[in-house]
Amino acid sequence: MAQDTLEPLQFHPILKSRIWGGEKLHTLLHKKTSDQNIGESWEISDVPGDVSSVAHGSFQGWTLSDLVSRFKGEFIGQKNFHRFGAKFPLLIKFIDAKADLSIQLHPNDKLAKERHNSFGKNEMWYIMQADADAKIIVDFNKKIDVNLYEYHLKNGTLPSVMNCEQVTPGDAFMIDVGRVHAIGAGVVLAEIQQTSDVTYRLYDWDRVDDQGNPRELHTDMALEAIDFNLPNNFRRDYKKTPNHPNPIVECPYFNCNYLEINNKTLISNIYDSFLIYICIEGDLTVNFNQNKWELKQGETILIPAAVTSFEIDTEFAKLLEVYV
């Protein structure tokens, strides 16, 4: 296939060691690594310094940035190219929290642009695996204003006013910018977010690094970014109708559908956008132009906008379908 004809694309995962990371990205999702404490697998990334490269096929070795620059609207969709230019708008991850992550939040587009020349970081979580009694932290457990927040921050009692949600596989959450949150120990999840690596840590459980130093906190920067008045709509209920896209999140930054397929299905891309499929259970084959791409649990594939029709062949697979 000539390099002027776009096709489905799979990328090399970018694995990140984290102080809170574990082994499940290797043991459960089969990421190839001998490193310890792997907390994140960046599946599709255009973050500077961590740009994904194509793993195989006609475009092997091309970076995500190369593809957007070369193909523009054919790759990400004409409306998306007009909106974002040559910057890919989403970052796709798997996360394994062996220990609690820091209590944190992310800034909105305006603040992130001013401070970091970055997108903001709206994100959603889909729980893939959870140990017994595993929890996440989302928002506060009572009405909090800035004075009460600063009191608990100063006294190291912030966890006492945080809202904990017990989680099981299939649970989904929307984490808006400005919403305080943390992934709890024993959770493996898929994360869909804007292309941003900007995080403001508020509280880190008094942990220290290998040199005995506490991790950096960003409490001053977070004060302007925090939103104390967000609605209680972070947990997302959704249908699970087989062989049909079931909306989980629809927002200006991305859309995510739950898709459970148990047969050979022709997919038509009607969105003027790239499509991303995250395999959360089972396995499948993507068929296009007499070529095949295998996708297993814990793997991700990107369908360029110019690929408007393709086939998914599976006996059983659960997918997240993502587009902008």
Dig out the tokens for 131 from the structure. 């140990």
| Average pLDDT for 95-122 | 97
Whole-angstrom distance, CA of residue 31 vs CA of residue 79: 34
Per-residue burial over 234-264, b if 16 or more Cβ lie within 10 Å, else e, is: bebeeeeeeeebeebbeeebbbbbbbbbeee
pLDDT, mean of residues 178-184: 98
Q: CATH 2.60.120.10 spans which residues of the chain?
A: 14-225, 246-323
Summarised one tens digit per residue, pLDDT across range 127-140 is 999 999 999 999 99
| pLDDT reported for residue 211 | 84
Burial class from Cβ neighbours inside 10 Å (0-12, 13-18, 19+) for residue 28 reads: middle
Q: Are 22 and 38 in contact (CB under 8 A)?
A: yes
| Residue 254 to residue 231: CA distance in whole angstroms | 19
Q: What are phi and psi of 264, to 5 degrees?
A: -85, 125
User: How many other C-beta atoms lie within 10 A of the C-beta of residue 91?
Assistant: 23
Structure tokens at 126: 């889909």
pLDDT digits (tens, 9 = 90+) for 111-163: 999 999 999 999 999 999 999 999 999 999 999 999 999 999 999 999 999 99
The tokens 């490269």 sit on which residue?
Answer: 53
Quickly name the fold that domain 14-225 has. Answer: Jelly Rolls (2.60.120)
* Cα–Cα dist 316/213, whole Å: 48
The chain-wide mean pLDDT, for the chain, equals 96
Q: What is the mean pLDDT of residues 255-272?
A: 96
**Percent of the chain predicted with pLDDT > 90:** 95
Whole-angstrom distance, CA of residue 78 vs CA of residue 40 = 31
Q: 246-323 has which CATH code?
A: 2.60.120.10
Name the β-bridge partners of 140. Answer: 162
Q: Hey, what amino acid is at 222?
A: A
What pLDDT digit, counting tens, does each position of 32-44 carry? Answer: 988 889 999 999 9
The pLDDT of residue 323 is 98
Structural contact between residues 189 and 128, judged by C-beta atoms closer than 8 angstroms? yes
Q: Assign 4 to helix, strand or coil.
A: coil
User: In the predicted model, what is the mean pLDDT of residues 234-255?
Assistant: 97
Ramachandran region, residue 77 (left: φ > 0; alpha: ψ -120 to 50; beta: rest): left
- pLDDT tens digit sequence for 190-238: 999 999 999 999 999 999 887 888 889 999 999 999 999 999 999 999 9
